[in-house]
Amino acid sequence: MRLLSRVSLTQRLTLMFVAATTVVLLVLGWVVTSSVEQHFEDLDMEVLSGKMALITQALQGVASPDDLTPLTHQLARSLIGHHGLEVMVMEPDQSVIFATAHATFPASIVAAQALQAPDQPVLWQLGEQTYRALAAQLPTAARDAQGQSVRVLVAAAIDIGHHQAYMRSFLQTLWWFVAGAATLLGLLGWFVVRRGLAPLSTLRDQASVVTAQQLSHRLPVTRLPVELAQLAESLNAMLARLEAAFARLSDFSSDIAHELRTPVSNLMTQTQVALSRPRNAEDYQAVLASNAEELDRMARMISDMLWLAKADNGLVVPSRSTVCLADEVRALFDYYEAVAEEKDLQLTLQGTANVQADRLMLRRTLSNLLSNAVRHASPGTPVQVTLKAKQSGVDICVMNQGDPIAPELLERVFDRFFRVDPSRHRSDQGTGLGLAITRSIVTAHGGTIGAASSGGVTTFTIKLASHLPG
């Protein structure tokens, strides 16, 4: 496996192509060889069967021992011109009646073949010669004492040395052809595979251009095969996600640096002013109180950032319990009542619903939305929470009247440190992480959250399923 991992894709495909074509050529060679051998056997059997038929007919004229001499002359004449054809005729006691010059087959073998497998071709080896032979027990016109036809053992064999020489030459030629064809097909396959995989080299060259500073670069999709075009589209989609994530990370780094720079600068300035000259205890207490406020804001920001980091990595797991949303909203109304009275806001609740969720997380979500609504609501207007129980889950809507949010900014309100009105003082709007945390909590519960704003009315809608995702 380790050695295979070092082999290039071009080499692998070439080897597979060569192996496949070699197997095909070998199978084809085996079929052709078998066909040629079968053809030679059929030709030999045609000759042997004809001679056996001739001998059978001649034996019908043998009625007495005196007829054997004419029989031998007749057989000798019939074999003139048949080079390599040998005939042997024996009596049942294996005494030879007639045999051609080279028919020196063992009598026992002839008798066994004639009695056990008559008319079945068999190969006999005689010295360096190989013969294909037929042996049979044939009747004569003579009769024995019981009146039965006297039978003789007859063997006809033909030398197949020329067939074997041809097959050896044919197989040698076939092996050379297979070797040459495999080599030629290997070179052709390597060329074809290399040309076919050329788009991969193009993708590699294009991908090497992508760096952290050039995430906007995209791989070309046109003029690519369908399979590689799909791969290029998937890589382009991945690059788009990486570019968006890198942009968010860059923006987040800039935002957090800006957010932390302000309280750190305030702490340094106030501390340096306090230390510039001796002051009384009340002045020092005022400076420490101001510093404590900035430190508390920084601590909340750091805590929120740690929570979001856990949420981004799936480490925030809600605990299951039945939550009465109406009770949670009323408890939050009591908390924000003083701020609402200061701005002459009416906190109203419509509907009731229960949901399987993490109570503390859900309270934090509702608190963030109410805090955002109270902060941006115009004085003398209502802040309304609507609960709608459905068969599929629960809808939670938090609505306030105030300055509208531009449509292009609605999706960004859930980004970290994003503010619709950046001119406002940071301390007036918290850490800028409330809505980001809200979305993380809703996502952890398997729900969705969205924002809509028109006609001076801004509505945040949460959709939660009846049960937490398993």
Co-location of 282 and 387 in the same domain? no
- Percent of the chain, pLDDT > 90? 15
Co-location of 18 and 145 in the same domain? yes
Co-location of 10 and 70 in the same domain? yes
Co-location of 297 and 438 in the same domain? no
For the stretch 56-66, pLDDT in tens is 888 777 776 66
Mean pLDDT computed over 261-274: 82
Q: Which of 290, 377, 294, 292 is nearest to 339 (CA)?
A: 377
CATH number of the CATH domain containing 259:
1.10.287
Q: Please determine, for residue 401, whether its predicted confidence score (pLDDT) is greater than 90.
A: yes
For the stretch 189-231, pLDDT in tens is 888 888 777 777 777 777 777 776 777 777 777 777 777 778 7
Co-location of 361 and 395 in the same domain? yes
Co-location of 394 and 247 in the same domain? no
SS3 446: coil
Last residue of a domain, one of 244, 278, 312: 312
Burial 418-448 (b: 16+ CB within 10 A, else e): bbbeeeeebeebbbbbbbbbbbbbbebbbbe
Co-location of 149 and 245 in the same domain? no
Q: Please determine, for residue 2, whether its predicted confidence score (pLDDT) is greater than 60.
A: no
Domain assignment present for residue 103? The answer is yes
CA 154 and chain centroid, separation: 70
Which residue would you say has higher pLDDT here, 37 or 72?
Answer: 37
Which residue would you say has higher pLDDT here, 401 or 267?
Answer: 401
User: What is the DSSP code (8-state) at residue 320?
Assistant: P
Q: Which residues pair with 131 in a beta bridge?
A: 124, 159
Q: Residues 355, 464: contact at Cβ < 8 Å? A: yes
Rg (alpha carbons) of the chain, rounded to whole number: 51
Q: What is the crossing angle of helices 434-444 and 281-312, to 10°?
A: 30
Count CB neighbours of 194 within 10 A.
14
Q: Which of 370, 392, 325 is nearest to 352 (CA)?
A: 325
Count the helix, strand and coil residues of the chain and give each as a percent rounded to the nearest 5: 55, 20, 25
Number of domains comprising the chain? 3
For the stretch 98-148, pLDDT in tens is 888 788 888 888 888 888 888 788 888 887 888 898 888 888 877 776 777
Co-location of 11 and 152 in the same domain? yes
Co-location of 159 and 11 in the same domain? yes
Q: Please determine, for residue 470, whether its predicted confidence score (pLDDT) is greater than 60.
A: no
Range of the domain at 234: 226-312
Q: Residues 365, 462: contact at Cβ < 8 Å? A: yes
Contacts of 41 (CB under 8 A, 6+ apart): 121, 132
For the stretch 416-448, pLDDT in tens is 777 666 544 444 455 677 888 888 888 888 899
pLDDT of the residue at 185? 85
Co-location of 328 and 458 in the same domain? yes
CATH number of the CATH domain containing 378:
3.30.565.10
Domain assignment present for residue 111? The answer is yes
Domain assignment present for residue 197? The answer is no
Q: Residues 155, 103: contact at Cβ < 8 Å? A: yes
CATH number of the CATH domain containing 113:
3.30.450.20
Co-location of 277 and 352 in the same domain? no
CA 307 and chain centroid, separation: 37
Last residue of a domain, one of 253, 278, 312: 312
Last residue of a domain, one of 122, 146, 168: 168
